[in-house]
Structure 1
Amino acid sequence: MGKSKKKRSIIRFTVLFAIVCAIGYTIYANAASEQGAVKVGEPATNFALVDLEQERFELGQNQGKGVFINFWGTFCEPCEREMPYIENAYEQYKDEVEMIAVNVDEAPLTVQSFINRHGLTFPVAIDERREVTRAYGIGPLPATILVDEHGIVQKVHTGAMTEEMVHEFFQSIVPDA
């Protein structure tokens, strides 16, 4: 009887300890993810990256135009699925909306091969040090940030997009005439 009580006490303690650890981790993870996260209605964090065509893209120099920012990776299946949708919308809206696809820290050759394979024509930059990714609080990929012509974040979307969503997102940041 004594061994059984001791065994139950150890099991209870272990379960309680695991629950406390899980709650602690959840609180920590939520607090950490909020640190760099952009918020709808607030000014977008300025950044500058050089795309694969060696053109400098600086968010702050796009006042007067909406900006579609897509964070992605070649390893990300949802990212790959939405690329044709983004390409089509880019072709339709490129005179009214700026677009930058920010690859999260992959080798330039890998990224260029992906671009060639999919026939992408929109600007793609690699966030080699993940500085922009961290500044925007990006976690899972894909992630899309919509910035209006005044530099204000209008939408933060994490996860895959349908073709309809991509077109709606581009349309939503076309500046009023």
Structure 2
Amino acid sequence: MRWLKVVIFSLVALIGGCKEEKLATGEPAPALAAFDLQGNESGLERWKGKSIYLNFWSASCSGCLAEMDALEALSKKWRDKVVVVAINTDPQAVSLDNLLAKHQVSYPVLRDQLQITQERYRIIGTPTSVLIDPQGRVLELHQGMRKPVELEATFARLAAQ
């Protein structure tokens, strides 16, 4: 019985330790614990060498939906230097297909069903964006919606990295 308690405690400590990665400006961006829409695990290393506009969003967030069209246009304009990676925070039961089709979203969309990525990035609401440089370091965390003019300036700054 004692060994069982040791094993359980070790597993809890190990699992808890996996979530300890935290967001800090100037430091490497925390690993993603998110999956693409086909259910495949996805990580930031996929976009190494480009700046990343990591966008946490929800289907019920009006500010998130208001940014979608501008993010789509900017992702195409700056595709050689900046990639938009959208992390949806909704439960798996929320269908995204019609919404993404309506906004003609072509940038990568990931789902954070276990909310581990949200925890690592200290997300308390949507929309929240995290700017990551081509070397994978966190440049900035921004909570709230950005207007198209602000987004344009942000992308120009990211492209200059």
TM range (shorter): 0.7 to 0.9
Determine the structure 1 residue equivalent to 2:150.
165
Residue 140, structure 1, aligned to residue 122, structure 2: no
**Aligned-residue offset at 1:97:** 1.5
C-alpha deviations, 1:51-95, integer Å up to 9, x for none?
225665311343321111000000001001111111110111122
Determine the structure 2 residue equivalent to 1:80.
65
Of 105, 115, 118, 2:103 maps to 118
CA distance in 2, matches of 1:95, 1:42: 24
Aligned residue pair count: 142
CA RMSD of aligned residues (A): 2.1
Report if the CA contact (8 A) 1:108-1:126 is conserved: no
The percentage of aligned residue pairs carrying the same residue is 26
C-alpha deviations, 1:97-128, integer Å up to 9, x for none?
12210000333662112101221111111111
Report if the CA contact (8 A) 1:146-1:156 is conserved: yes
Alignment of structure 1 residues 1-177 onto 2, 5 Å: 38-53=23-38, 56-107=41-92, 110-174=95-159, 176=161
Distance 1:145 1:57, change over 3 A: same
Greater share of residues in helix = 1
CA distance in 1, matches of 2:72, 2:90: 21
Report if the CA contact (8 A) 1:49-1:56 is conserved: yes
Extract unaligned runs of 5+ from structure 1: 1-34
Report if the CA contact (8 A) 1:64-1:175 is conserved: no
CA distance in 1, matches of 2:129, 2:102: 22
TM-score of the superposed pair, with normalisation by structure 1: 0.72
C-alpha deviations, 1:2-61, integer Å up to 9, x for none?
xxxxxxxxxxxxxxxxxxxxxxxxxxxxxxxxx875222222112253322566531134
Which entry has the higher C-alpha Rg, 1 or 2? 1
